[in-house]
Amino acid sequence: MSVPIVRTVDELRTIAAEWRRSGASIAVVPTMGALHEGHLSLGRAALQKADRIIVTLFVNPKQFNSAADLAAYPRTESQDAAKLALLGAHLLYVPDAVEIYPAGFATTVSVSGISQGLCGTFRPGHFDGVATVVAKLFLQTGADFAFFGEKDFQQLQLVRRMVQDLDIPITVVCCPTVREADGLALSSRNFRLSPAERAIAPNLALVLIETAERLARGSPVLPTLAEARAAILAAGYRDIEYLELRGETDLQPMTSLDRPARLLAAAWLGETRLIDNVRTSPVFSEVG
Ligand code: AMP
């Protein structure tokens, strides 16, 4: 079995229109390729929800802030296609660049608020690039459902906001972060880690998980976050861009844990930037 690959909007729309005529529902899973178990978990969830699933593969230059990062991003289309065939995906859409950014392209989708702070501070223009390409992929596929990972939590909330604001008729479904056995979140950037860095890498997740538990038990937010930062640096990370507590849905900064929240971090391990996040929520003691 293989998965059909299309590279133009015309081909994509012809196939999607046939599916629609037969009454099938459609899910889309946007990716930048180099597929790992995290991506495949989205595909599996999509197969549970919709009759047909389209996985998209586009390494979007507009969401990279560094030419070196873009150049180093892994491109493994034939392995990706083999994995998707095994999974049972119905279509792989690998748009030619001109299908996403035709000559004269002049539109940017920019979601304010949620795109500021966290990764937005350290990757200027990144979320405009994400919102613009995701909006295009939604419109090109006309899918009913879109699957995103919690691994990129700010991106997930940004996409939800955009869909709501622009009345895009698609339901955004989120899937939990898939981790290695030692806790490290799967990422297409993990392959860049040296063996020594790979051994240090899980500490980001482990500190976040432990900190989330401490906060839930009532530990004061600011000192606890300071201790978490120190622990990540002590484990061997080179620099922490941010480690913050934010509201679960609005991503507003929080200084006390009085509602469901996310603990989000980005940190550098050698030359590799890793991000992760975990949920935390106050434990209310029962009275009476
Ligand atoms: P990317 O190819 O990195 O742009 O990611 C494509 C989609 O896969 C996004 O919705 C990510 O949030 C999701 N994803 C990436 N890594 C993971 C992971 N470890 N677990 C779950 N979803 C993931």
Beta carbon of 31 within 6 Å of any ligand 1 atom: yes
First to last CA, the chain: 61
Q: What is the mean pLDDT of the chain?
A: 96
Residue 152 C-alpha to ligand 1 middle, in angstroms?
A: 7
Between CA 54 and CA 12 the distance in angstroms is 9
Beta carbon of 152 within 6 Å of any ligand 1 atom: yes
Instruction: Return contacts of 191-197, CB within 8 angstroms, 24+ apart.
Output: 191/34, 191/74, 192/72, 192/271, 192/272, 193/269, 193/270, 193/272, 194/270, 197/236, 197/269, 197/270, 197/272
Residues serving a catalytic function are 39
Per-residue pLDDT at 286 exceeds 90: no
Predicted TM-score (pTM) of the model is 0.97
pLDDT at 36 (0 to 100) = 98
* 88-118 pLDDT, tens digit each: 999 999 999 999 999 999 999 999 999 999 9
Per-residue pLDDT at 51 exceeds 60: yes
The best mutation among 64, 133, 151 to test binding of ligand 1, ranked by most ligand atoms within 8 Å of the C-beta, falls on 151
Between CA 167 and CA 280 the distance in angstroms is 30
Beta carbon of 168 within 6 Å of any ligand 1 atom: no
As given in the structure block, the two tokens for residue 67 are 């030419």
pLDDT at 1 (0 to 100) = 81
Beta carbon of 41 within 6 Å of any ligand 1 atom: yes
Ranges of beta strands (E only) in the chain are: 5-6, 26-31, 52-57, 91-93, 145-149, 171-175, 239-247, 261-269, 272-280
Per-residue pLDDT at 226 exceeds 50: yes
- Average pLDDT on 111-130 reads 96
